[in-house]
Structure 1
Amino acid sequence: MGTVKMLAAVAAAATILGGGVTLAQAADTVLRAADTHPNGYPTVEAMKYMGEVLKEKTGGRIEVQVFDSHQLGEEKETIEQTKFGVIDLDRVSFAPMNNIVPETSVVCLPYVFSSVESFRKVMDGPVGEEVLKAFEPKGYIGLAVYDSGARSFYNSKRPIKTLEDMKGLKIRVQQSDLFLDMVKALGANPTPMAYGEVYSGLQTGLIDGAENNWPSYESSHHYEVAKYFSLDQHAQCPEVLMMSKISYDKLPAEDQQAVRDAAKESVKKMRELWDAQEEKSRKIVEESGVQINDVDKAPFQEAMAPIYDKYASTPELKALLQKIRDAQK
């Protein structure tokens, strides 16, 4: 985003929000939170739950106001606004943070986690804390890691069963170099696009497909215009709940800790809702007549060798990758 456009977005958000952390009389603090997902989505409900916990922990002194359904912009815009303190709390995918916080790229590497259980074990431990701490030098406070399920490809043209089936497909990707390179390595044509534009892109043929998890595929209604869902499960790139460092630094130490504790408590709630939503979403998709197929993952995994070389290239990132692997043993 250019400087002029970015400042305009910040100004627009400030008009909606009244500007960042609000300290009203009697130290009453309202934290504004952004999420692109619709009301009822697990991450949205988890942030609401965090707000309830935080309000209780602070005796009502701090509240969280959640703006869902990309009311405050798509993820790229909210990330920038959060850095400037216009938005206080932001739920975004790790993917658009890859170019900002390199450690997030390692977590998003294709096939780096063997299962959902392994992912949760790793991200709940020292590795997860290390990655969250890496946000702070960039102007954000990493508070919690939310699930995002296993991402798979879906499209309007054909089932994807082999690498050959990927060739020529125009696949929407998040605004992340890692995802761009991953799709290129698989032989398809990556097209960066905001999440909110994917349905119309599929409908008009601007793109042939995209990649995401069951709840996103279903709740966005992409299954209506992309009837082939191929279970390659290439990534479990998670979500992050982060806070503007500007907003965080305005709070006293006691309240900072309360924010961190409430965010951590919201993870359990998010996962409960996520597991239920995955099951519900898959059932809706299956009943709609979508063609679902398994994929032989081995050739896909082999094609990822250059991606690992590029995104775990420094000694620090290689060490982080090894920690992820060791934690799954």
Structure 2
Amino acid sequence: MSKKCIVLVIAVLFLISVGAGFAAPATQGAPAPKPTGNQIVLRLSNLASEGYPTIIGARAFAQIVEKETKGRVKVMVYPNAVLGQEKAVMEQLQFGAIDFAILNGGLVSTVMDQLNVFQLPYIFKSYAQAWKVFDGPIGSNILASIDKSQNLEALGYYDSGSRCFYTKKPVKSLADLKGLKIRVVQSALFMDMAKNLEFSATPMDVGEIYSGLQTGVIDGAENSMLFYVSNNHDEVAKYFLEDNHMRLPDVFLASAATMNKLSVKDRNIIRMAVKESEKVDRAAWINQEKTAKAKALAAGCTVTTLDSKGIAAFQKATVPMYNEVSQKYGSIIKKIQNTK
């Protein structure tokens, strides 16, 4: 090889290594970007991948904030748990190391006890009723009930779909579910639901569900239609039961330390941007759930929607779960049930 060629190869390798060096930080810790001039740079964390409704909503939030502040406040969105898993992220929010996060309601309920009302099975009769509750006085009061000692502020709700059962064999009624091994979230509430609906609760990590279904370790699982299809569970569990047993939203949290550092004007812009971005998130959920359902049907899956008699049987079976929560939040439960 000539000396000229060697020099050319070295130059190309150098450029490749430099390019790799610039790319690496995106997957390693994501240090806070440096502001330019008087610009304020804030960070938002979420577990979801790019293109997921939550991230679409988060990016809309960032765009609105930047536009309304004329670029003076910039929000950097970090998907794919780049800034950590949810529990760690909530701790960083409390210390002001992260500014915003959209976290699952189950975790947030540990610092917002009233949110547990939304986790009661079948408390919402429809998607429209659920969002009327979230957007109205009930939802606002629950956001305001967050434990202030945790240094967090709850700004709004993002959609997280409606949890339903999906199985390897047909389930069209409560009787069909009896005795099946269903993967659930590791929590007392889900264990209680399993007891009342008479299926066998089998907690396991999300990454193990596919193989669990494939090998028969579990007979089914429960989650949203979008989760079911995006994780390819429709390949190994062909029956989806639209019972909509839970409509627990994600919660948009802010660090109180961050909010306190901002001007009143900027805080109001942040709150407005959250509300506007909620609409974007919900629209994306509706579109992607519709696409996911069409994909499942095209793949030969059977989607069963319960009639009023069928859903009534599930609701009746879970009535005992309401008793304990009713002792603390009976008035909230009644208000939700009276919302049309």
By the TM > 0.5 criterion, same fold?
yes
Q: Quick one: which of 27, 31, 45 aligns to 1:18?
A: 31
The match for 1:303 is: 317
Q: Distance in 2 between matches of 1:95 and 1:214?
A: 19
Q: Quick one: which of 275, 278, 291 aligns to 2:302?
A: 291
* CA drift at 1:169: 2.8
Tell me if 1:253 matches 2:267: no
Q: Distance in 2 between matches of 1:180 and 1:122?
A: 26
Q: Distance in 2 between matches of 1:93 and 1:290?
A: 28
The secondary structure found in structure 2 opposite 1:16 is: coil
Q: Distance in 1 between matches of 2:214 and 2:152?
A: 36
Indicate how the Cα distance of structure 1 residues 225 and 88 shifts in structure 2: closer, same or farther if over 3 A, else same.
Answer: farther
Q: Distance in 2 between matches of 1:256 and 1:97?
A: 21
Q: Distance in 2 between matches of 1:74 and 1:165?
A: 36
Q: Distance in 1 between matches of 2:208 and 2:90?
A: 18
The match for 1:65 is: 76
Extract unaligned runs of 5+ from structure 2.
Answer: 1-27
The secondary structure found in structure 2 opposite 1:27 is: coil
Conserved? CA contact 2:112–2:147, under 8 Å? no
Percent identity between matched residues is 38
* CA drift at 1:182: 1.5
Alignment of 1:184-223 (within 5 A): 184-223=195-234
Q: CA deviation digits over 1:131-189, x for unaligned, max 9?
A: 11122524321111122332210123x22223333233332323443233222321123
Conserved? CA contact 1:150–1:233, under 8 Å? yes
* CA drift at 1:193: 4.1
TM-score (norm 1): 0.85
* CA drift at 1:307: 1.0
TM-score (norm 2): 0.82
* CA drift at 1:282: 0.6
Q: Quick one: which of 170, 178, 181 aligns to 2:189?
A: 178
* CA drift at 1:28: 2.1
Indicate how the Cα distance of structure 1 residues 49 and 185 shifts in structure 2: closer, same or farther if over 3 A, else same.
Answer: same
Q: Which range is displaced more, 109-118 or 181-190?
A: 181-190
Q: Distance in 1 between matches of 2:98 and 2:216?
A: 34
Q: CA deviation digits over 1:39-58, x for unaligned, max 9?
A: 11111100000000000111
Q: Quick one: which of 14, 38, 63 aligns to 1:27?
A: 38
Q: Quick one: which of 87, 97, 107 aligns to 2:108?
A: 97
Conserved? CA contact 1:27–1:61, under 8 Å? yes
Q: Quick one: which of 164, 173, 181 aligns to 1:162?
A: 173
The match for 1:153 is: 165
Q: Which residue identity does 1:297 align to in structure 2?
A: I
Q: Quick one: which of 135, 151, 172 aligns to 1:139?
A: 151
Q: CA deviation digits over 1:29-84, x for unaligned, max 9?
A: 22222222221111110000000000011111222222223334443343333333
Q: Which residue identity does 2:153 align to in structure 1?
A: I
Q: Distance in 1 between matches of 2:241 and 2:196?
A: 17
The secondary structure found in structure 1 opposite 2:243 is: strand
* CA drift at 1:261: 0.9
The secondary structure found in structure 2 opposite 1:81 is: helix
Q: Which has the larger radius of gyration?
A: 2
